[in-house]
Chains A and B, each alone.
Chain A
Amino acid sequence: MHLPLCFSSALAALGLLLAVNASAATPEDTVRQAVTAMAPKVKVDAVQESELPGFYEAVAGGQFLYVSKDGHYIVDGNAYDVREKRDLTAGSRAKARKIALDKIGPDKRIVFAPPAPMQTKHTVTVFTDVDCPFCRRFHQQIAAYNAKGIAVDYLFFPLSIHPGADKKAEAVWCSKDRPNAFTAAMAGQDPGKATCANPVSELTHLAQTLGISGTPTILADDGSQIAGQIAQSPDQLAAELDRLAQASAARN
């Protein structure tokens, strides 16, 4: 399994140093030793306290693991709070994705916002691929999403199963009128072969570190992922975004 990782080297060095001094084990230390015992090739990107009592939450390649604080047990899966009827793992994943997406400025996105005088009520971030049929179908309805007050920010994530899609993404990015070139490419037109400095590989890497493996992946303002079936309908997407915003307001 390919694990796209980037922040682990400093932590790994730290782990080696601390491994000799078990009594001073940090959470990172405990988690790394536990994970290494089961799967030496899996690199842990981040460790944090979990809402699940007695466990640390570890992130590896965009996926979540629960490690008992003594390092003895790992649960590779999802945690639910039964009383609150909440998927704790989905919540943590959304939080991590929101933090990562907040660092991606408009200079790396292709933005389709509702044109004035329409107001933007919600923004969704969509990982997309020029050669993915459902991404194209989604974009065909862009005016309808905008009319519902939904701004769509696209991030390129050309899948390796679509050879040449990365070059098309770059050509779109390097064209003079980016949104128009994007719309034309999504309608099946050849975007040409323009090249320039572009964020395509950075965004592809980002998607992988966030555990995103397919397109279109649609993320709400709070980082939570919206099911493709819902997002394909502008009405349903608008309703879902309203619901998420209310739920988020209720928690704060």
Chain B
Amino acid sequence: MKPYHQSVTPSSGIIAGARSSIAFVRVGLTLALLCALGFPIAQAADSAPDIAARKALQELVPKAKIDKVEQAPLPGYRQVIIGGQMVYVSDDGRFLLQGTLYDTQAKRDLTAARIATDAKAKVDAVPLSKRIVFAADGGKPKYKVTVFTDIDCGYCRKLHSQIAEYNKRGIEVDYLFFPRSGIGSPSYDKAVSVWCAKDRNAAFTQAKGGKNPTPLKCENPVAEEFTLGTQVGVEGTPTIFAPDGSKIGGYLPPDEMLAKLQTLGTASFAGN
């Protein structure tokens, strides 16, 4: 319990708060959180500003493991991707900005767009053989969402109890496992057991219905998917990724999910 009473849910920022009606709390990146993340450092041939950006970040957060450093759309700045989140560092390494970058002329959230591109590449790289797929009705899906899920999470169960409704609306749901308590936890073991069942989809649905799966072990992608989740900024379950790599929830009822998918890419910021 925090020794603090709050009258409002803190938003990720004043503009995001004013623009968003999503009942989904985005947890802001804190420098403390950066410490907790660990990722392989992908170092290409770094330019001087790239090196300055890395140095700046290590100065403020010695344990930060940087995912990617590249030129930012903001002139004079590098952008650094860390665990599905982003910070901006001036090319001389002197200043660091932690927050959301907007282009007021294009009326775009550049931070979310870049993070979505990054997440899309990583999520798309997961082959069909490592997903549990609940296909849309009537052949070709209109939309495909990727849902990071945990057998033991209430809203994940609620979502799956309506799986036929999503499918009926032309939405294919691809599940990846994200046992929140981590690798080796009871929820992790359940995920592995479901994965190793003969009829994976049936075992998944049964487990989501509250029935403990028969304990099984086999080669499985659960740990890999959990790690992927941390790299694309999954902080809870369910986390739903749209086809463009943007995070759209949180649990969303079937009609709301459909509406959200329909407006993606065509959203007008001016109306908010």
A residues contacting B by CB (< 8 A) are 1-3, 33-35, 37-42, 52-54, 60-61, 63, 65-66, 68, 71-83, 85, 88, 129, 132-135, 137, 159-162, 213-216, 228-229, 232
Contact = CB atoms under 8 A, between A and B. Distances in A.
Contacts of B5: 129, 132-135, 159, 161-162, 214-215
A214 B6 contact: yes
Contacts of A229: 3
A3 B18 CA distance: 9
Contacts of B18: 1, 3, 39, 41-42
Most chain B beta-carbon neighbours within 10 Å: one of A40, A73, A228? A73
A61 B16 CA distance: 13
B66 to A, nearest CB: 15
A212 B12 CA distance: 15
Contacts of B90: 53
A232 B14 contact: no
Interface stretch (B101-109, B117-125, B197-205, B206-214): B101-109
Contacts of B99: 75-78
A134 B88 contact: no
Interface in B82-107: 88-90, 93-105, 107
A161 B95 contact: no
B104 A37 contact: yes
Given A80-B95, A213-B10, A228-B2, 8 more contacts: A40-B270, A41-B272, A52-B95, A77-B97, A82-B56, A82-B95, A134-B5, A228-B3
A68 to B, nearest CB: 7
B13 interface: yes
B59 interface: yes
A194 to B, nearest CB: 25
B3 A81 contact: no
A55 B269 CA distance: 23
Given A66-B97, A77-B98, A83-B94, A161 B7 contact: yes
B228 to A, nearest CB: 26
A79 B60 CA distance: 12
A73 B95 contact: no
Most chain A beta-carbon neighbours within 10 Å: one of B3, B13, B73, B90? B3
Closest 9 CB pairs of A and B: A77-B99, A76-B13, A214-B6, A228-B3, A39-B18, A1-B17, A37-B104, A63-B14, A82-B56
Contacts of A42: 14-15, 18
Nearest to B272: A39
Nearest to B2: A228
Nearest to A161: B7
Nearest to B86: A77
A129 to B, nearest CB: 7
B19 interface: yes
B35 interface: no
A27 B66 CA distance: 35
Contact of A38 (B10, B11, B56, B269): B269
Contacts of A2: 8
Contacts of B13: 63, 76-77
Interface string B1-42: 011111110111111111100000000000000000000000
A25 B122 CA distance: 44
B97 A74 contact: no
B154 interface: no
B113 to A, nearest CB: 14
B77 to A, nearest CB: 9
A112 to B, nearest CB: 19
Most chain B beta-carbon neighbours within 10 Å: one of A1, A35, A134, A216? A1
